[in-house]
Amino acid sequence: MEIVRANCPLLLALLLALVSGGFSFTFTFKNNCGYTVWPGTLTGDNKAQLSSTGFELASGASQSLDVSAGWSGRLWARTYCSSTTGTFKCETADCASGQVSCNGAGAIPPASLVEFTIGSNSDQNYYDISLVDGFNLPILVTPQGGTGDCKSVTCSANINSVCPSELSVKGSDGSTIACKSACEAFGTDEYCCTGAYNSADTCKATSYSEIFKDQCPQAYSYAYDDNTSTFTCTGANYLITFCP
């Protein structure tokens, strides 16, 4: 029987990945906004956080993070941030850590979210853009490589420009800098898909969620908006672009 020797770097890397239980994928964040943003990351399922849970990303800049197979969590970008009082704080999507790193804290609504469940090895990855927690800036998710459907998913519209006054979050200059979900604004079961509305049969689109859906048809506009809003790919890296 011939013995195959792992003297090829690629083969060795594949063998090590199999031994360690999974492959590594890469998220690349790109800021196409005309201003600085501060991406945040949150790992779910009580697992270890990524190597960075928050960082500064200047206009035009990119930064990458590695993620292991089996990872699930959320990604977003904070805006209008400063530390002039000695504590780091953002006007939209803040994680209230008081630091650039979110340290396991999630985004405070309203926030445009990217959600991932990265499959183990050859399993499918699931990804979506969610506006269930409102909107603060446009986002594009582009699979790089991979097999399967692997569609790019975008919310490229500036929903702040059409946000109803009752959902609007104002900045220091009086302009709308984020748009709340109806759940965040009113807190009722109908809008939050809770209580008697906690199922796909009872929780339906509302006039408010339809504003988000009209602007960004591929994004989740309310909790049970699955049919048009969940996407899959296998073995890809992902480019997350803010303000595509």
Q: Can you give the pTM of this predicted structure?
A: 0.89
* CB distance 64 to 26 below 8 Å: yes
pLDDT confidence of 6, banded at 50, 70, 90? very low
d(CA 121, CA 204): 36
Query: How much is the pLDDT for 22?
Result: 52
Name the nearest CA neighbour of 240 among 22, 9, 40, 96: 40
Percent of the chain having pLDDT more than 90? 84
SS3 36: coil
What structural domains and CATH numbers belong to the chain? Answer: 25-242 (2.60.110.10)
Q: What is the pLDDT of residues 176-193, one digit of tens each?
A: 999 999 999 999 999 999
d(CA 214, CA 192): 19
- Least trusted range by pLDDT, from 9-18, 50-59, 71-80, 170-179: 9-18
Amino acid at 80: Y
Q: What is the pLDDT of residues 53-63, one digit of tens each?
A: 999 999 999 99
pLDDT over 50 (residue 17) = no
pLDDT over 90 (residue 24) = no
